[in-house]
Structure 1
């Protein structure tokens, strides 16, 4: 367990960041799940709309340090290809 005041503070900060990042990850996954569900239903318009809503959330996750840039780009690329294929 943390003993010095500095390490105690770092432990508190780490827990706070963990909770914030967990909430962000959950929110992003919700948006991605909406796209997946729209794709599964075969509704191209709904899938395209869900994808447009998911993109800023995913990229915000990158700027906040929750996801790596390449990971987010890969996810967006694969989802957009699947939405295009619905046509």
Structure 2
């Protein structure tokens, strides 16, 4: 338990930030799963929208420090390559 007023405040802030970061991670993972599902089903109509959503959520998370920028860039690049391959195969 916190012994000082400032330590108690940092503990409260940590709890709030943990919740926010968890929510951001959840949105990214949901977007990634949705995109993977659409790629598997070859749903060409929804793939570009899902890629856009995923990219947006991932970059927001990277800007806030939830993921490193290199990780975000790598994941976006790999999924974009899969999307291009899926759409060009049509």
TM-score, normalised relative to structure 1: 0.89
| Higher mean C-alpha displacement, 43-52 vs 59-68 | 43-52
Paired with 2:83 and 2:45, the residues of 1 have a C-alpha distance of 9
Q: Which runs of 4+ in 1 moved over 2 A?
A: 43-46
Q: Which runs of 5 or more structure 2 residues have no equivalent in the other structure? A: none
**Alignment RMSD, CA only?**
1.2
Matches within 5 A, 1:1-87: 1-86=1-86, 87=89
Number of residue-to-residue matches in the alignment: 87
Paired with 2:55 and 2:65, the residues of 1 have a C-alpha distance of 16
TM-score, normalised relative to structure 2: 0.87
TM-superposed CA distance for 1:9, in Å, is 0.9
Q: Show CA shifts across 1:7-43 (max 9, x none).
A: 1111111001001111111111111111111111122
